[in-house]
Amino acid sequence: MTTQPEITEPLAAPPEALPAIPWEDRPAHTAGVLWRSSRNPIIRRDHLPRSNSIFNSAVVPFRDGYAGVFRVDDTTRVMNVHAGRSDDGVNWEIDPEPIVFRAADDRVAEIQETFVHAYDPRVTWLEDRYYVTWCNGYHGPTIGVAYTYDFETFHQLDNAFLPFNRNGVLFPRRIGDAYAMLSRPSDNGHTPFGDVFYSESPDLVHWGRHRHVIAPEPWTWASTKVGAGPTPIETDAGWLLLYHGVLTSCNGFVYSMGAALLDLDEPWRVIARGRDYLLSPQVEYEQVGDVPNVVFPCAALVDKPTDRVTIYYGGADTVVCLAHGYISEIVASISA
């Protein structure tokens, strides 16, 4: 059995002392549970010299600031992932060249030889390092897995699943003795269906014990497909799962953000699921872009002492945006 690679580099410091997260107070007369940043979009499509669009990207606390992995579609329209760093979580320096992953073993090198694309990353602090999951092209989309200590060197493990799969999101700790991941089995195109499933692994390489979590709900904002968003957030009420839901309108897909609570010990069991969306495409940078009408959450920064959460989401598959809220209010909206 393949085991998790031995630690060969200094451990990254666990992100316990969070720097001040990007934040704006709720504007007057705002009725929603979440509200948008007035600085949106914080990363524009032409942030890099050859970027056509930058969106659906993941951010985590790192050292005295923040680091992240960003989806960048270039002007050839190749989809790839780039590392980035920021002092404040708003103003970003993104590497102009994609991440070059080091293969953890020769069999990983085999899948690297067939690289097609990489997109929609998530980043999770887990035990002693940061793990990156993304949609990796290998005879169709599947879930790539890698880890880093410093956001400069990235070590790639084997793909987690067979094609076709998207939206692989790790839990930030083991569930029992197993690592855990949410994902959405799909097809090789612009999938017109999709449920969220839970999977376990002893070593972050071999995955099994798959369990169904949530499905689309007919005649709602999430009637076509659903997919996990940021790393699940552990609360006293359960795992808070922010996710995207999609409906099929007469003008195409509409992506919105919603939330659910999962059992802490058996996260495939749903405690409650919010009836209403938390955020839907209602402003220009969410409605107009390469793919219209998309709010796609990928990361969340949580400041537990203040109950605050700041969510990074992609707007219209073109730009990176921020939304703010309070964990307790999101949980209350699910339970209502």
Segment 99-124 mean pLDDT: 96
**Whether the predicted pLDDT of 11 surpasses 70:** no
pLDDT band at 14 (very low <50, low <70, confident <90, very high): low
pLDDT confidence of residue 16: 60
Segment 312-330 mean pLDDT: 98
**Whether the predicted pLDDT of 193 surpasses 90:** yes
**Pick from 29, 21, 32, 30: nearest CA to 330:** 32
Q: Domain 44-335 adopts which CATH fold?
A: Tachylectin-2; Chain A (2.115.10)
**Whether the predicted pLDDT of 336 surpasses 80:** no
Give Cα separations from 298 to 120, 167, 170, 178 (angstroms). 8, 9, 12, 23
pLDDT band at 10 (very low <50, low <70, confident <90, very high): low
DSSP 164-230: SEEEEEE-SS-BTTBEEEEEEE--SSS-S---EEEEEESSSSS-EEEEEEE---TTSTTSSEEEE-S
210-266 pLDDT, tens per residue? 999 999 999 999 999 999 999 999 999 999 999 999 999 999 999 999 999 999 999
pLDDT confidence of residue 37: 98
The alpha-carbon radius of gyration of the chain (Å, integer) is 18
User: Which tokens is 181 given?
Assistant: 């991941």
pLDDT confidence of residue 18: 67
Residue type, 221: W
- Residue 305 class from Cβ within 10 Å (0-12 exposed, 13-18 middle, 19+ buried)? exposed
pLDDT confidence of residue 122: 98
For the chain, the average pLDDT equals 95
User: Which tokens is 48 given?
Assistant: 């890099």
pLDDT confidence of residue 13: 59
113-145 pLDDT, tens per residue? 999 999 999 999 999 999 999 999 999 999 999
Residue type, 73: D
